[in-house]
């Protein structure tokens, strides 16, 4: 009975150890609060997705790595809702993404075009960020199937015109810092739900007639830093802005003609912009009226500018106070949080996640505040520009990771898959060896009982002889 008891105890210990290693959901160096539902693997120099990322992951970030091709890699993750692939080296839009995605971040890559089939399966997308890529063209109809898309960011690309057939569900559209020289009225007319339009820092010279008339819900337009020609063709924009829309674009500066260059559009009179609209008899009577109108507009612009500065300073204070938070309570990331209006990846940074893990796993008596990192480690240099994106963030995250590695739970989570396999094989071999030993001992015991006679039988044999 003792060998059997020892055998059972050994099997129990091996199975417990193996189960503890296999259940661990977090890859090496990543941050995984809430049992792997949220996995952050940022600034680790990854060339491929870690194999130990749980298939049940709902929010995944592999930003600031060296991923070049992720086609069909995320297809098994059928419950993935938010995915960040920003600051990598992708040269095309990823293929085979799960249809469950609601937020997709692809900013700071090297994508050059969007084909019609790239987004065919992503009907649940509500946010798509393609900022700072090299996109020159988007095929017609590529975005039309995204019937739930509300925010589209194409800032900092090389587009020469607005993407055709944009979904009518859009509420925020950012195409700033491109090469757009003209607007298509038909492309804008379908955006009946649009609230925010950013088309600043392009090459616009004027706005076509009735371009904004169908945008009844429009609340904000950014049109600054374009090549505005303050002549008759700009009269539609001029009148549209004067209809109680001064807050939308009060900083439009003329580039031509020369006598109006560097002047604010809304401070000019109609006669200065387009003299041919006036008859000779009406010109003298309209001079005084135009001058007074210009003064009123200037005073309104000054008030608007001061108000916007106060709002921006308030926003900056709020943003800085958020960044100063070193830890987040666990109650701020419930399961229902993934369905909120603002994505989880925008509310929880990699550094905050590491701080949260450090606070949760270390006993209160041994918690020590993190000291700022003093050594700067070289970041990942991009092939195209030679920049080092997020080098300071990388240093902070790697420093925090070294601190966390001393906690028992993280040591268990950071186990290598090869080590897990070796331990499993050792446990199986140990069990088989124990079973073999027991069978051999049983066989030997049975043989001894058969060969050796009882003492009484031996006495009877000797008496008869």
> Which strand (E) or helix (H) includes residue 248?
none
Q: Which tops the pLDDT comparison, 109 or 342?
A: 109
Dist. CA 289–CA 292, nearest whole Å: 5
Q: What percent of the chain has pLDDT over 90?
A: 43
The three-state (H, E, C) secondary structure of 319-340, written as one string: HHHHHCCCCCCHHHCCHHHHHC
Is the pLDDT at 198 greater than 60, yes or no? Answer: yes
Q: What is the pLDDT of residue 203?
A: 96
User: What is the pLDDT confidence band of residue 127, given thresholds at 50, 70 and 90?
Assistant: very high
Q: pLDDT tens, 392-435?
A: 444 344 433 334 333 333 434 444 567 778 888 888 899 889 88
The whole-angstrom separation of Cα 122 and Cα 99 is: 5
Provide the 3-class DSSP secondary structure of residue 402: helix
pLDDT score for 464:
59
Identify the pLDDT of residue 12. Answer: 55
Burial of residue 89 (CB within 10 Å: 0-12, 13-18, 19+) is middle
Give the separation between CA 62 and CA 48, rounded to whole angstroms.
10
- What does the pLDDT read at residue 386? 41
Does residue 3 surpass a pLDDT of 70? no
d(CA 326, CA 315): 20
Q: What is the pLDDT of residues 315-361, one digit of tens each?
A: 343 433 333 333 344 434 444 344 456 777 777 677 777 676 555 54
- Tell me the whole-structure pTM to 2 decimals: 0.63
3-state secondary structure of 196: strand
The distance from CA 388 to its chain's CA centroid, rounded to whole angstroms, is 19
Does a cis peptide bond (omega within 30 degrees of 0) precede residue 315? Answer: no
| Mean pLDDT value of segment 88-95 | 96
Per-residue pLDDT band at 202 (split at 50, 70, 90): very high
**Spatial CA neighbour of 128 closest among 159, 153, 100, 109:** 153
HSE toward the beta carbon, residue 283, CA cutoff 13 A? 9
> At which residue do the structure tokens 């949080």 appear?
337
80/458 Cα distance (integer angstroms): 81
Domains of the chain: 40-287 (3.80.10.10)
- Region 46-73: mean pLDDT is 94
Query: 5: Cβ–Cβ under 8 A, 6 or more apart, which residues?
Result: none
pLDDT value at 286 more than 70: no
Are the CB atoms for 294 and 301 separated by under 8 Å?
no
**Residue 292 pLDDT class (50, 70, 90 cuts):** low
Q: Cα separations (Å) of 106 from 109, 132, 134, 428?
A: 7, 9, 12, 45
Task: Say how far apart CA 374 and CA 4 lie, in whole Å.
Answer: 58
Query: What pLDDT digit, counting tens, does each position of 155-173 carry?
Result: 999 999 999 889 999 999 9
The angle that helices 350-361 and 391-404 make with each other, rounded to 10 degrees, is 10
For residue 148, is it left (φ>0), alpha (ψ between -120 and 50) or beta?
alpha
Q: What is the pLDDT of residues 26-37, one digit of tens each?
A: 888 899 876 668
Helix (H) or strand (E) holding 153: strand 151-153
Which helix H or strand E contains 228, and what residues bound it?
A: strand 228-229
Alpha-carbon distances, residue 382 vs 62, 154, 259, 376 (angstroms): 16, 21, 45, 18
Mean pLDDT of 363-381: 41
Q: Band of the pLDDT at 309, cuts 50, 70, 90? A: very low
Q: Are 284 and 256 in contact (CB under 8 A)?
A: no
């Amino acid at each position: 009975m003792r060998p059997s008891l020892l055998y059972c105890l050994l099997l129990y210990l091996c199975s417990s150890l193996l189960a503890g290693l296999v259940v661990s959901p977090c890859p090496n160096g990543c941050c995984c609060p809430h049992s792997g539902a949220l996995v952050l693997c940022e600034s680790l120099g990854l060339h491929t997705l870690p194999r130990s990322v749980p298939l049940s992951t709902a929010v995944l970030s592999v930003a600031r790595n060296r991923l070049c091709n992720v086609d069909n890699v995320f297809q098994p993750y059928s419950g993935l809702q938010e995915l960040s692939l920003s600051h990598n080296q992708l040269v095309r839009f990823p293929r085979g993404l799960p249809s469950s995605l609601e937020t997709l971040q692809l900013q700071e890559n090297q994508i050059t075009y969007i084909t019609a089939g790239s987004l065919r399966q992503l009907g649940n997308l509500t946010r798509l960020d393609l900022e700072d890529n090299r996109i020159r063209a988007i095929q017609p109809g590529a975005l039309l199937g995204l019937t739930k898309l509300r925010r589209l960011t194409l800032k900092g690309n090389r587009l020469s015109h607005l993407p055709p057939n944009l979904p009518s569900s859009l509420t925020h559209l950012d195409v700033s810092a491109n090469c757009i020289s003209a607007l298509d009225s038909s492309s804008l007319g379908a955006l009946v739900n649009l609230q925010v339009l950013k088309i600043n820092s392009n090459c616009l010279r004027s706005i076509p007639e009735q371009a904004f008339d169908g945008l009844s819900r429009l609340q904000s337009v950014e049109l600054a830093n374009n090549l505005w020609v303050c002549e008759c063709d700009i009269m539609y924009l001029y009148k549209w802005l004067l209809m109680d829309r001064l807050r939308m674009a009060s900083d439009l500066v003329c580039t031509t003609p020369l006598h109006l260059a560097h002047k604010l559009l809304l401070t000019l009179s109609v006669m200065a912009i387009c003299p041919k609209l006036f008859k000779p008899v009406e010109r003298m009577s309209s001079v005084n009226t135009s001058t007074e109108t210009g003064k009123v507009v200037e005073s309104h612009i000054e008030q608007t500018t001061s108000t916007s500065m106060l709002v921006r300073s308030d926003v900056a204070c709020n943003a800085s106070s958020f960044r100063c938070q070193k830890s987040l309570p666990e109650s701020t990331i419930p399961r229902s949080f993934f369905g909120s209006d603002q994505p989880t990846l925008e509310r929880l940074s990699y550094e905050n996640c590491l701080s949260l893990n450090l606070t949760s796993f270390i006993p209160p008596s041994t918690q020590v505040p993190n000291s700022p990192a003093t050594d700067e480690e070289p970041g990942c240099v991009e092939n195209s520009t030679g920049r080092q994106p997020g080098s300071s963030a990388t240093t902070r995250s790697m420093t925090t990771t070294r601190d966390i590695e001393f906690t028992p739970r993280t040591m268990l989570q950071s186990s290598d898959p090869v080590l897990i396999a070796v331990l499993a094989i050792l446990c199986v071999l140990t069990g088989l060896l124990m079973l073999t030993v027991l069978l051999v001992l049983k066989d030997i015991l049975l043989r001894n009982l058969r060969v050796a006679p009882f003492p009484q039988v031996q006495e009877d044999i000797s008496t008869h002889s």
